[in-house]
Structure 1
Amino acid sequence: MVQQFNPANVMTTQSVPSDVATTIIDRIMGQSAILQVAKNIDMQGKQTKKFSFMTGVGGAYWTGETQRIATTKPTFLPAKLEAKKLAVIIPVSKEFLSYSYTNFFSEVTPLIVEQMDKAIDLAVIKGINTPYEDSLANAAQTNGSVLSGDINYENILALENKLYDKGLQGNAFLSTLTNNPALRTSIQQNAGLYPDKLYDSSAKTLDGMPVVDTQQGVLNKGDLVFGNFDYLYYGLPGNMDVEIDKSAQLSTMTNSDGTPVNLFEQDMVAMKVTMDIAVLPVRQDAFATLNVKPGDDVLGSVPGDGTDTTDKNAKANTAKAKPATATSSEQK
C-alpha cells in the first residue's frame, strides 16, 4: 500500500534559504497569543537567565520647603527563565519537492508556525505536553481565580474582580474567535435605553482592554483568560535551527502498518526545525480563567510522547509493526 504523508504534520527540502528561520520565527512572534502579550527578557545566548521583577515602588511622601525628601525601597523578587527545546520534523516525498520546489517554503512555513504556536500556547495556557513547571490555568486554579459559566456581562466583570480583589490590575484577555458572538452580546441587562456594552469589535477590546485570540484548537469556545501579563515573561536564547536529512528513521512517526518511517528506504527527505524558548509566569495570582481547565487536551495524543520524558501529560507511542500471518491455504 502506498503511504500518504501530510505536510501539515512534518516537512522537508534539499536546500534551506538563509531567510527561512527568520521568517518562521517572526511569524511565530506575531501569531502566538502568549508571545504577543508576554514581556521579553534578553537571555544573552544562555539557556537560563536569572532576573528580578518589581512588585511595588513603595510610597510617596509630602515634604516642606528645604526638608529632606523621604525615600523608599522598591520591592523586587527573583525569578529564573529556563529555555526548553521545541521541535517539528516534516517529512515529504522527493517527488513532492521536485514538483513544487519553488513553492515549498511558502507552503510549509505556515504549517511550521501553526504547530509551534499551538505547542507554545497550549503549554503555557493549559499546561498540555508542557516542559514548564507552571501554566496560567494552574496558576488561576491554585489561587482560586477560576470561574465557570457562560460568557456574559456579569461573568466578565466577575472574572476581572478575581484580580481586583487581590489588588492587581489586569491588562489583557486571551480568547478565541468562536467567542466573538458571545462577546458582542455581553451587554448589561435591565439597564434601560443605555446599557453598558463591554466588547468593542472594531478596537478588539473588552472593557477597554485588548483581546488576543489564540489559534483554533488552543482555547475552546467559552474559554477566557484574564491577566496582568506584565507578570508573564519569555526569552529566546538563540536562533532557530533548520536541518535536512535523507537517511534517518523516524521512530515517532509510523506507516499505516505500524513500522517506523525510514527516509532512505522510502525515498523521502525531512526537515527538522528546532528552537529554544523560555516562558515563565512570575506571579500566580496575576491570572484568572473562565471555563479553562488545566491539562484539558484539545489536540489529543502526540506520537512518541512519553517514551523519554517525565511529563505527566505525555502519551507513549504504542504503535508496533504487525507480524506477518499465514494465509488459509498456507496453514493447510
Structure 2
Amino acid sequence: MVQQFNPNNVMTTQSVPSDVATTIIDRIMGQSAILQVAKNVEMQGQKTKKFSFMTGVGGAYWTGETQRIATSKPTFMQAKLEAKKLAVIIPVSKEFLNYSYPTFFSEVTPLIVEQMDKAIDMAVIKGVNTPYADSLANAAKTNGSVLSGDINYDNILALENKLYDKGLQGNAFLSTLTNNPALRTAIQKDAGLYPDKLYDSAAKTLDGMPVVDTQQGVLNKGDLVFGNFDYLYYGLPGNLEVEIDKSAQLSTLTNADGTPINLFEQEMVAMKVTMDVAVLPVRQDAFATLNVNTGDDVLGAVPGDGTDSNDKNAKANTKAKPATDVKPATESK
C-alpha cells in the first residue's frame, strides 16, 4: 500500500479555485511525454475500467457482380486500466504567499507540473518508483527489443526493425533534447552526394515519425524509445485535487537537522496536489529501446510503501541509479 499521510497532522485546509486545478492538469497533459503519445480511455469516476482494443481487422475480399461480399471478424483483446494516486506537496514560506493567491499559484504551478510529469514518465518509461506492473523499458527487455550503442543512422534503423521484425509498425519516438545533436548527424554513410538524413528538425520527426521529448532527467543522453503507442493507454478517473495548508507536519520532508517540517511552527504554507492516473501498455512487443535502463524495482518501489507515515525509517528509495554503458551497435541481452 502506498504511504498515506496521517490526517491527525492536518488540522485545516483550504481549497483553491477550480480554474487553478484545470490549468495544472492541462499543463500536465501537454508536457508529459507519455500522456502526449498514449491513447485515452474515459474513466470518469472509476478507479478501474475494463476495455477492448483491436489487434487485427477483418480482411478485404475480391468479389464479382451480384456475389456476396465475404466478411471476417476483427480481433479484439480485453485489458484493464487501474488508477494509482500521484501526489506532491510543495512547502513555501508565508512571505511567498503574501503577494496574493494568484501570484502564489502562478509561481508553484510550474513546479507541480514538472514533478508530476517526471513521476509519470519515469514510472511508465523506465519503471522508476512505479506503482504499475510494467514499463516500456521492461516490456522491451522481455521481448528482446533492447539495443545499446550510439544514436546514428544504422542504430536508429536497427531500433525500428525490432518492431518491424514482429510485424508491427511503430508511430513515434521518445527522446530528450540532449539527443538533438546526435539526431541531426544521423545521416547515411557512403551514400555519395545524396545521403539519407533521418531527422527533420523543423518538423521534429525521425524517419517520418514524430519525436516527443521528455523533460530533463527522465531519459539520459543517448536514450531512445521507439514504439507503436496505439498500444499504450491511459485514463484519468477524476479531477485534480489541490489544497493549501498552514498547520500540517510533513513527516516525509525534513529540515537540515533531520526534524520534520512543521508548517505552523515554521511560518510556512504547503500546497498539496493529488490526482489518479492509470497507464497500461497492452502489448509488450510494441516497444523497443536504445540504451534505456529499467528502474531498480519495476513493481513496488514507491517510497514509504508499506510503512506508516510517522515511521522515521520509511523507505527513502535511495538506491544508486544503474550506470548506462553505451557500446557501439551491439544488442543488449
TM range (shorter): 0.7 to 0.9
Q: Deviations over 1:89-112 (max 9, x none)?
A: 111121221146552111110110
Paired position in structure 1 for 2:284: 284
Paired position in structure 1 for 2:119: 119
- Tell me, in whole angstroms, the C-alpha distance in 1 between the residues paired with 2:316 and 2:207: 45
Offset of residue 125 of structure 1: 0.2
Are 1:135 and 2:135 matched, yes or no? yes
Secondary structure in structure 2 of the residue aligned to 1:220 = coil
Q: Which letter does structure 2 place at the counterpart of 1:255?
A: N
RMSD in angstroms over aligned alpha carbons?
A: 2.0
Asked if the contact 1:306–1:317 (Cα under 8 Å) also holds between the matched residues in 2, the reply is: no
Q: Deviations over 1:2-47 (max 9, x none)?
A: xxxxxxxxxxx97623311000000000000000000000013200
- Tell me, in whole angstroms, the C-alpha distance in 2 between the residues paired with 1:205 and 1:240: 32
Paired position in structure 1 for 2:177: 177
Paired position in structure 1 for 2:237: 237
Offset of residue 317 of structure 1: 3.6
Secondary structure in structure 1 of the residue aligned to 2:18 = coil
Deviates more, 1:258-267 or 1:127-136: 258-267
Q: Which letter does structure 2 place at the counterpart of 1:146?
A: V
Paired position in structure 2 for 1:6: none
Q: Which letter does structure 2 place at the counterpart of 1:141?
A: K
- Tell me, in whole angstroms, the C-alpha distance in 1 between the residues paired with 2:15 and 2:173: 41
Give 1:198-209 correspondences, 5 Å limit: 198-209=198-209
Asked if the contact 1:175–1:225 (Cα under 8 Å) also holds between the matched residues in 2, the reply is: yes
Offset of residue 267 of structure 1: 2.1
- Tell me, in whole angstroms, the C-alpha distance in 2 between the residues paired with 1:164 and 1:116: 33
Q: Which letter does structure 1 place at the counterpart of 2:138?
A: N
What is the TM-score when the length of structure 2 is the normalising length? 0.85
Q: What count of residue pairs does the alignment treat as equivalent?
A: 298
Secondary structure in structure 2 of the residue aligned to 1:258 = coil
Q: Which letter does structure 1 place at the counterpart of 2:114?
A: E
Q: 1:128 to 1:63 in 2, by over 3 A?
A: same
Asked if the contact 2:15–2:243 (Cα under 8 Å) also holds between the matched residues in 1, the reply is: no
Structure possessing the higher relative contact order (Cα contacts under 8 Å, 6 or more residues apart) = 2
Paired position in structure 2 for 1:42: 42
Q: Which letter does structure 1 place at the counterpart of 2:253?
A: M
Secondary structure in structure 2 of the residue aligned to 1:19 = helix
Offset of residue 249 of structure 1: 1.1
Give 1:301-320 correspondences, 5 Å limit: 304-306=303-305, 308=307, 316-317=315-316
Q: Which letter does structure 1 place at the counterpart of 2:195?
A: P
Are 1:60 and 2:60 matched, yes or no? yes
Are 1:98 and 2:98 matched, yes or no? yes
Paired position in structure 1 for 2:5: none
Paired position in structure 2 for 1:146: 146
What is the TM-score when the length of structure 1 is the normalising length? 0.86
Residue ranges of structure 2 left out of the alignment (5+ in a row): 1-12, 309-313, 319-333
Secondary structure in structure 1 of the residue aligned to 2:218 = coil
Paired position in structure 2 for 1:246: 246
- Tell me, in whole angstroms, the C-alpha distance in 2 between the residues paired with 1:281 and 1:33: 14
Q: 1:61 to 1:173 in 2, by over 3 A?
A: same
Residue ranges of structure 1 left out of the alignment (5+ in a row): 1-12, 310-314, 320-332
- Tell me, in whole angstroms, the C-alpha distance in 2 between the residues paired with 1:317 and 1:230: 35
